[in-house]
Each structure stands twice: as C-alpha cells, then as structure tokens.
Amino acid sequence: MTSPLPATRTAGDPVEVNRLLVTASIVLGTLMGAIDLSIINIALPDIRASMGVTLTEVSWVATGYLVSVVVVLPLTAWLAAVIGRKRLYLFALLLFIVSSLFCGLSRSLHPLIFFRIIQGFGAGLMQPIAMAVLREIFPPAEQAMAMGIFGIAILLGPAIGPTLGGWLTDNYGWPWIFFINLPIGAIAMFMASQFLSDPSYLRRDTAGRADYVGISLLTIGLGSLQTLLSEGQSEDWFESDWIVGFAIVASVALVAFVFWELRVERPAVDLTILANSSFTSGTILGGVLGLALFGSIFLLPLFMQELLGYDALQSGIAMLPRSLVMMVGMPIAGRLYNRLGPRLMIGSGLALSGMAAFQMARFTDQTSYVGLMIPQLWQGLAFSLIFVSLSTAALARVARPRLTNAAALYNLVRQLGGSFGIAVFATLLESRQTIVASRLGENLSLYNPGYVLRYQALAGALPSRGVIPYQAGQKALALLNGLVQQQAAVMSFEYVFFIIGAVFVVTLPLVFVLRPRSEAIPSAPVL
C-alpha cells in the first residue's frame, strides 16, 4: 500500500502525491525512450530494403536519435525553468508520441531521419526529469530504491529492445516498432497530466532572456561529438576528412561553451554544480562505467550472430536472463544500499562485472547457451549493484532546486560514455581481427606440413560430398581461409572482452572518492 507523500518534502508544501502513480507515470515514458535507443538497430536491414538506400544512409536513423538525445539532455533544467517542469515533461512525451507516429508512417529516408531526431529530443528531455522527480517523491531512506526503479527503465530498455524489435519486425513489419509507442504513450500522457506537479521550489524564469550563445555552442559541440562517435567507425575514423572536421568543431565548441557558461550571468547549463566533489566523481565514474557496460552490451549480440549463427531474435532471447536478473536485482539493491553503502556495493559490482567479462573472454564458437547465460547472470547482478549505488551516491548531496540540472549532466556523461565505449570497442575489435587474421594467415603456406596435410585431406574429401573434382582445390582453400577468419574473430572477441574486464578492475579504486554512505537531501542550497 503506497501512502501519499509531499511531492518535494519541503516545509509548507501542501501538494501531496501518490508515489506509485507518479512513478508509473514517468517510468513509462522513460522506458519507451530507452527501448527506442536500441529497438531500431534490429529493423535497419528491413528499412534499408524497403526504402532502397545504402547502409551508411540508413545508419542515420539511429545516429540522428542519439545526437538529439545528447544535445537536449543538459538543456532540460533551463527549459524546465522557462515553461515549468510538468509542462516540459508533457511536451516531451507528446513530442515523442507524435514523432513515433510519423516515423511509422514515413516511406522515404529523409522524413524518417527527421522524425527520429524529433523523437530523440522527446526522449532526452524525459530522462533527467524522471530522475529528479523520483529523487524528490521518495524519502531519504528510500533514495536508493528510487534509483533502482529508474535503473530498471534505463538499463532494461536497451536489453529488451532488440528482442521486441525483432519480434515486431518479423511479424508485423518495421513501422510497428514505432506504432507500439502510441497506446503506451497515451496512457503515460494521461497519468502524467493527472499526477505530476511542479515542486514548490521551482521558480519560473519569466525574464525572457536566454543564453543563446551557450545553447548554440552546446548544440554544435555535442552534436558534432556524438556524430563523430556514431559514424567514426564506418568512416575509418581520422582517415576521413569530415570526421576530422567534426572532431575539430566539437573540441572548439565545447571548450568555448565551458568558458562562456562560467562567465555569463544566466547560463543555460549551470556548471558550478561540478564544484560538488561527490557529484563530479560519481558522474565521471558513471561515464567510465558507461563505456564498459554499453560496450559489452553491444559486443555480445554481435558475437552470437556472427560466430554462433544466432538470428537477431535468438540473440535477444539469449540476453533476456540478464534483463530478468536486473529487474529483480534493482529493487533489492535499493534496499541494501542504506545498509552497505556505495563503496561496498559499487566495489562488489565492479568485481562481479570484471569476473563476468573475463568469463566472456573464454567464449569460443562452440559455446553453449548455458555458457552464454552464466556470465550474463553475474553481469545482471553487477549492473544492478553499480547503477543503483552510483546514481544514488552521485546525487545524494545535491539540493532539490538543482536536481534536474544535476540529473541532466549525470545522464549526459553516462550516455556519452556509452557511445564512446561502443565506438572504441568496435574499432578495437576490427583492428584486432585484422592483425590476428594476418598472423594466422602466415601459416597457410606450402612450407607448413600441417597446412599441406589439412589441404590435401579437404581437397580429397570434397568430391565425395558433391563438389566437382577440379573445383575441390579452390573450395578447400576457401574453407581453410574461412576457418582462419573465424578463429581470428573468436580471438578478437576474447581480447576485447578481456579489455572490458580490465577496465572494470582498473576502475575499482575510484569507489573510494565517493562518500561512504548516503546523506539526506539538504533543504538549503548545497553545491
């Protein structure tokens, strides 16, 4: 039974809310945005075929969404001050629903990319608002539980997105990955309009003055950075002139943005909150962990599809055990936080994550479903411990009037860390595979007795399997070369999974910069 609590728990605030209803209202929207981050990937081949475009062109359907999410995240607090937080959340939700409709109705690429960008704006605005609201409506003793609920939406979305997307695409067609948002969004819209309210401390910015310079620099800088991270791998990174251009623009714009925001009287993004050492260290740690966490989530389905022969739906189902563990583990981690504190929980999560990654580093092309599942179960438990504790500790000493701004910056760094991790590990995987294949290929020589014997055995056996005799030699060479490439791919995945495990282990000392235990959210402004 959920009891009504003051919306912000501040003295003199008459507004009371039902925590269960408010939580359901904002989690629905956040979950939709998180799912749409990954659900599109499974449908890109079908979209490409139906529209007759190239792989590079259709990739912008995913890239546009990521860019808009990253750009709008840090502007959420300023926009909430201008139009009100409830209005902003309802506007973001409406933007997401309407753009989802038009995405599904699009029959050419450019309208689809445009509406995906609009959809990303809506998703990006919802995340920090949801995080701030949950921090407010739960009392100090239940802050970790609130972050556990938020974590379910944020981490479960990318985990179930491919499975849901594969099922919808196979059975109903790719437009339904967008149409599915309409009924859920309508419910979320109704609930948010009824149960969400602006906190008493929120003061509307009625002066009408906007930091247009800061907003422009931020948009250009983050947009260029996210585009670089999303498209760099396909363009061979700094071998491409336009990738170099994006890197220069991102660097100049973001440095100028920081200098401007620290000097302007009314900044679009309040960077002074970074003076809070607990928040800053937790946010940096969140970015580092985002790199490893989302990197591993990206690599595992790739391994299953390329080396184990799973289709997209099968690989999504194979990853469900981790999602189920996270669903169960997040609330439990929330209850354990006040007893164990962030250091022990995050440290344990990092150790478990490292152990799981090292187990993945022993995967082969013969790994069974059970072999895939065991490290994922450990990883699901680890992710629960890390996410709940880290987000709780990072925001523990942030005053309520600054929660939306702090939540936006925290989610921004986590999102950029995830994008950076995917970019780095994809590049590392490809370069490692090229090196290993070259080294293994050196053994395909007539001077290698083992190779000669294997070649002769294959060439002699193929005619009995229906291969024309004079083609048996070429077929044998192709098979041996395929085996080399397959083994190189296996060894490359093993190498990258090992690097991810090492990142978790190396990150362990950072837990000591966090406060040993959570403290109540102060009523007076605190940095």
Identify the weakest region by mean pLDDT among 262-266, 310-314, 452-456: 452-456
What counts of helices (H) and strands (E) characterise the chain? 18, 2
Average pLDDT for the chain: 78
Q: Please give the share of the chain, as a percent, with pLDDT higher than 70.
A: 82
Residue with the larger pLDDT of the pair 324 and 10: 324
Asked whether residue 95 carries a pLDDT value surpassing 90, the answer given is: yes
Asked whether residue 474 carries a pLDDT value surpassing 60, the answer given is: yes
What is the CA angle 381-385-387, rounded to 5? 115
Give 320-375 pLDDT, tens digit per residue.
788 788 878 888 887 888 788 888 888 888 889 889 999 999 988 888 888 888 99
Asked whether residue 511 carries a pLDDT value surpassing 90, the answer given is: no
CA nearest neighbour of 85 among 153, 35, 15, 148: 15
Asked whether residue 389 carries a pLDDT value surpassing 60, the answer given is: yes
Asked whether residue 6 carries a pLDDT value surpassing 50, the answer given is: no
Identify the weakest region by mean pLDDT among 120-124, 252-256, 288-292: 288-292
CA nearest neighbour of 192 among 23, 400, 404: 23
Range with the largest mean pLDDT of 62-66, 251-255, 434-438: 251-255
Q: Phi and psi dihedrals of 192, rounded to 5?
A: -65, -40
Asked whether residue 94 carries a pLDDT value surpassing 60, the answer given is: yes
Identify the weakest region by mean pLDDT among 328-337, 424-433, 455-464, 501-510: 455-464
| CB neighbours of residue 114 within 10 Å | 15
Burial of 500 (0-12, 13-18, 19+ CB in 10 A): buried
Q: What pLDDT does residue 4 have?
A: 41
Q: What pLDDT does residue 98 have?
A: 95
Q: Given the structure tokens 């030699």, which residue do they identify?
A: 473
Contact 321, 374 (CB under 8 A): no
* Mean predicted confidence (pLDDT) in 488-498: 87
Enter the DSSP assignment of 7: S
Q: Please give the share of the chain, as a percent, with pLDDT higher than 90.
A: 8
> How far from the centroid of its chain's Cα atoms is residue 282's Cα?
17
Q: What pLDDT does residue 182 have?
A: 92
Q: What pLDDT does residue 93 have?
A: 93
Contact 195, 18 (CB under 8 A): yes
Asked whether residue 102 carries a pLDDT value surpassing 90, the answer given is: yes
